[in-house]
Amino acid sequence: MTTLTAQFDVPIGVDSPGTCRRAVLAVLAVWGYQHDDWVADASVVVSELVTNAVQHGAGSVQISLEAYGPHVVFSVADGSSVVPRRREPDGRGGRGLVLVEALTRRWHVEEHEGGKRVRAELRLYPDADGPPPPPGSAREDPLQA
Ligand SMILES: Nc1ncnc2c1ncn2[C@@H]1O[C@H](COP(=O)(O)OP(=O)(O)OP(=O)(O)O)[C@@H](O)[C@H]1O
Ligand SMILES: [Mg+2]
């Protein structure tokens, strides 16, 4: 059984968050995920997590997307094993993970090749069944895998 998946490496630089956001939204659009409000939320989550990987992480950064009906999981891996933690927002930041928590169903961090991967399950796509799944695709929840 399969799900819709995409994975790509992020060129590190000041443009990384914007470049990734455009790439992720393009993939989601190809898969049929185009509802304005849902895409706006997804866009913020992508930007914050990629910005964090570039600013606070280390090594190469890799994006992955998994989709099955209304369930979409966005992941960002980097080479640092430091686990991101929400902190009290102050004048220097601390709002990124607050936003991610507010705009996702859940998120967590897992070990990944000596570094870590932040996995965020986006809000359920508003069309009850999501875009039509490809033939033979699974509707399992990968966060439980
Ligand atoms: N990929 C990461 N690798 C290591 N540490 C991280 C990572 N992402 C976040 N963190 C840690 O978690 C903290 C909270 O992240 P958060 O995005 O909420 O705030 P911020 O990045 O400091 O500020 P802001 O996002 O508001 O500009 C960061 O300050 C950092 O210490
Ligand atoms: Mg941040």
| Ion ligand 2 — residues with CB < 5 Å | 52, 96
| 30 is a domain residue | yes
Shortest-distance atom of ligand 1 to CA 78? 1
Total number of domains in the chain: 1
pLDDT value, residue 12: 85
List residues bridging with 122 in a β-sheet.
104
pLDDT value, residue 43: 97
List residues bridging with 71 in a β-sheet.
68
| 18 is a domain residue | yes
Encode 61-80: b = buried (16+ Cβ within 10 Å), e = exposed.
bbbbbbbbbbbbbbbbbbbe
Q: Measured from the CB, is residue 120 less than 6 Å from ligand 1?
A: no
pLDDT value, residue 117: 98
Residue 144 CA to ligand 2 centre (angstroms): 26
pLDDT value, residue 1: 39
Helix (H, G, I), strand (E, B) or coil at 114: coil
| 142 is a domain residue | no
Report the side by side order of strands in the sheet with 61-68.
Answer: 4-10, 61-68, 71-78, 115-122, 104-112
| Domain interval for residue 73 | 4-137
Residue 108 CA to ligand 2 centre (angstroms): 15
| 145 is a domain residue | no
Q: Measured from the CB, is residue 83 less than 6 Å from ligand 1?
A: no
pLDDT value, residue 35: 95
| 144 is a domain residue | no
Residue 92 CA to ligand 1 centre (angstroms): 11
For residue 62, what is the domain's CATH number?
3.30.565.10
pLDDT value, residue 127: 77
| 13 is a domain residue | yes
pLDDT value, residue 14: 82
| 15 is a domain residue | yes
pLDDT value, residue 13: 84
Q: What is the pLDDT along the chain (145 residues), one digit of tens a residue?
A: 358 999 999 888 888 999 999 999 999 999 999 999 999 999 999 999 999 999 999 999 999 999 999 999 999 999 999 999 999 999 999 999 999 999 999 999 999 999 999 999 999 999 756 565 555 555 555 565 5
| 143 is a domain residue | no
Cα–Cα distance measured from residue 12 to residue 15, given in angstroms and rounded to the nearest whole number? 8
CA-based nearest residue to 52, from 3, 113, 115: 115
Cα–Cα distance measured from residue 77 to residue 112, given in angstroms and rounded to the nearest whole number? 7
